[in-house]
Structure 1
């Protein structure tokens, strides 16, 4: 008996190199040894008749494909994977996103608090699948300065303004350096990044980089900064946790669901002063005789305790359980 074939619907393909594409490509690789797996932007297409299971990323943007599957196959074999904009914006007001949730046989959230964002009648359909990454060894880092890196395309939902403002607050500090990685698809964001570079010598906008270079930058930094105002479950957080790099993150459900409620490195969303204060505390704790508590060491230990959640083995097992349920559920 052949294994069921899987189609992954992703609104973003390789050229975008964003979270949706990385999830789609990683799942294709994980499942390809046991299933025939393909990635499409829209379904149905010429090969649609051979598909047994659909994993649709993004309830709103993949809504036409989800509706087409449900019309021809019903809920069986259909899982909708919810992003941050789905969970914390679209499902409250967008009729297409709401319809996608109703049509799905299973709903997938990418961190533990995602289930709480769903209406109570939908929660029984929800499954948590933490995304995964490979582990990297922690590399030695200088104590002469603190190097922070932020990774994320420059758009409002990622709140790059918070980083710009924090860089201005710390502009007189030669011992705190900030590298900002990400593409600015809209000219105003690029202008703001360049203006911050001009005003703040310790801030550098690196633009978009290949994923391998991004991983290296995270591994080599003292701390990852993640300022998102809205988040579903960020790849960069798990990549930092699995590289021995602590995280400073906005206290939004998508980040708390990744790092845990008791994590010590949160600042309030869009609170640039709070972020700057945490960076200052991290730097103060680097000195051997520092009187301040060594925040970096505390955060590194907390991230290490979360890292097993983001292992490829854990994600592969969770995916296998999901496919089994999709096959068996009427």
Structure 2
């Protein structure tokens, strides 16, 4: 398994996904080695994350093992705004036996490049073991942002929206995420120091981040692009409603008619949605809770395990060693 994550215990999305998939494939009887690039050996198959960053590994593996299957997982920075704009080489896609996307709208992006490749696409939604319930804060109405500070995440949009809320609102934003972009980290630090409605907690260990999510009233996802955010799966598994930008990577998971979406980069629209959610206007909080609860089976770990088992069976890999 090739992943562009900087190290095997990386908290970045690719690293988290690679470790979960390696464990899952291991539970299906396969031996998996995670690496950043192709490593020669007697391999049965390749699973590669990120078509752009793992292109060299895909080419090398295809050359060394021309009869072995390649599964290429397309990330958000591969798919959006489109594969041509992100620099994905169509020839690399054609080397893949199967293409994995994390939500159903990803298939459209592949089809736009090559309609024949769409038949190779399989949707595998990321799963999560639900964390233990946690008591909600009673002193405030807490929502959370779980996003590293990178421009594509638009990580300070929730802080800007919270600043537009009326004094009567009790809403606060707790934000956990590593300061990967120094300029954004400096801004988050300043905003956290002066705003009573925004608290940047920095990077948290995964169990602590999930505990923060479990105690919150809602997850706020402000990304400009996502391939199918694992944090949405985490919220659904935890029973926490989602307020998300209206991007294909999120509506592909939540549904095209999901009533908890707002336009990309629009703090006023997000502030309006946050206030409506806090006040439960027209039963919004109840509606979002019921909608997300209905999606919970989609992120069950057994569903993801079955999807991978079916994919491996298609490739003749259902029995390890074959």
1:92 pairs with 2:87 = no
Any gaps of 5 or more consecutive residues in structure 1? 1-7, 286-291
What is the distance in 2 between the residues matched to 1:243 and 1:294? 21
Q: Is the CA contact 1:148–1:222 (under 8 Å) kept in the aligned structure 2?
A: yes
1:176 pairs with 2:171 = yes
Aligned to 1:279, which of 274, 277, 290?
A: 274
Seen in structure 2, the aligned counterparts of structure 1 residues 153 and 173 have a Cα distance that, compared at 3 Å, is farther
Superposed, 1:175-214 pairs within 5 Å as: 175-214=170-209
Alignment deviations for residues 220-272 of structure 1 (CA, whole Å, 9 cap, x no partner): 00000000100001111111111111010000000001111121100011111
Aligned to 1:66, which of 58, 79, 98?
A: 58
Aligned to 1:27, which of 11, 21, 24?
A: 21
What residue in structure 2 maps to residue 289 of structure 1?
Answer: none
What residue in structure 2 maps to residue 222 of structure 1?
Answer: 217
What is the distance in 2 between the residues matched to 1:174 and 1:197? 18
- How far did residue 198 of structure 1 move? 3.0
- How far did residue 75 of structure 1 move? 6.6
Aligned to 1:239, which of 213, 227, 234?
A: 234
Seen in structure 2, the aligned counterparts of structure 1 residues 143 and 275 have a Cα distance that, compared at 3 Å, is same
Q: Is the CA contact 1:168–1:196 (under 8 Å) kept in the aligned structure 2?
A: no
SS of residue matched to 2:243: strand
What is the distance in 2 between the residues matched to 1:95 and 1:205? 33
What is the distance in 2 between the residues matched to 1:126 and 1:309? 18
What is the distance in 2 between the residues matched to 1:317 and 1:257? 20
What RMSD, in angstroms, separates the aligned Cα atoms of the two structures? Answer: 1.8
Q: Is the CA contact 1:60–1:96 (under 8 Å) kept in the aligned structure 2?
A: yes
Superposed, 1:120-199 pairs within 5 Å as: 120-136=115-131, 138-141=133-136, 145-170=140-165, 172=167, 175-199=170-194
What is the distance in 2 between the residues matched to 1:316 and 1:181? 29
What is the distance in 2 between the residues matched to 1:319 and 1:294? 38
Q: How many residues align?
A: 312
1:304 pairs with 2:293 = yes
Q: Is the CA contact 1:78–1:326 (under 8 Å) kept in the aligned structure 2?
A: no
Any gaps of 5 or more consecutive residues in structure 2? 318-322
1:109 pairs with 2:101 = yes
1:11 pairs with 2:11 = no
What residue in structure 2 maps to residue 293 of structure 1?
Answer: 282
Seen in structure 2, the aligned counterparts of structure 1 residues 254 and 69 have a Cα distance that, compared at 3 Å, is same
Q: Is the CA contact 2:103–2:227 (under 8 Å) kept in the aligned structure 1?
A: yes
Seen in structure 2, the aligned counterparts of structure 1 residues 102 and 283 have a Cα distance that, compared at 3 Å, is same
1:252 pairs with 2:247 = yes
TM-score (normalised: structure 1)? 0.89
Q: Is the CA contact 1:75–1:104 (under 8 Å) kept in the aligned structure 2?
A: no
Alignment deviations for residues 2-38 of structure 1 (CA, whole Å, 9 cap, x no partner): xxxxxx1100033431111111111111121311111
Seen in structure 2, the aligned counterparts of structure 1 residues 214 and 97 have a Cα distance that, compared at 3 Å, is farther
1:36 pairs with 2:28 = no
- How far did residue 121 of structure 1 move? 2.1
Moved over 6 A (4+): none
